[in-house]
Amino acid sequence: MNKLSIGLSIVAILLAGYTILSGKENNKLAYVNSIKLVEKYNGTSTARIGYEEKMKIWQANIDTLRTEFENRVGTYNDEKANMSEKEQQLQEQLLQAKQQQFTQYQQAIQQKAAEEDKRIMNEIMTKINSTVEEYGKKNGYQIILGANGSGNITYGDEALDITDEVLKELNK
């Protein structure tokens, strides 16, 4: 009895969906390769270049601080034999504080880089999504699906793939 109910429910849902879709004239359905849109969108490469430039500056700052810290450790090790025990303790405390500052700065830069990457990707995805929406409206599509390689579309007839057309709009 349960299997019959479930089977009838599935048939009813499928019929309802078909009825809704068949009620519209000229139903247009398409998909885009989302990964290809992100990779081939000119704005992505521009944003990536800007991000890499910022990362070079941040990494240079980290490298400078690391070198300064290593130099201080080297100086301490060279002069340690000539220091009193109290001076050694003081210098070690100062070195520990510097190391902690360096570690905190490095973590802050990593967090800043992650936030910047997220912000950039959000801007790119907003631009892509709005372009897909505009393209869909302009060309009479009811649905444009996004294929991203993670299984939401496992197969699509190439005739329904409008990725290249959307890319042309996106890169104007």
For residue 148, the 8-state DSSP code is -
The pLDDT tens digits along the chain (172 residues) read 444 445 445 644 655 555 555 555 567 888 898 889 999 999 999 999 999 999 999 999 999 999 999 999 999 999 999 999 999 999 999 999 999 999 999 999 999 999 999 999 999 999 999 999 999 999 998 888 888 766 566 567 788 888 899 989 989 8
Closest CA to 139 of 171, 167, 166: 166
pTM across the whole model:
0.70
Task: Look up the CATH superfamily of 2-170.
Answer: Skp domain (3.30.910.20)
Cα 134 to Cα 141: distance, rounded to the nearest angstrom: 10
φ and ψ at residue 139, rounded to 5 degrees: -105, 10
Which residues have C-beta within 8 Å of that of residue 95, sequence separation ≥ 6?
A: 69, 72, 73, 76
**Structural domain boundaries in the chain:** 2-170
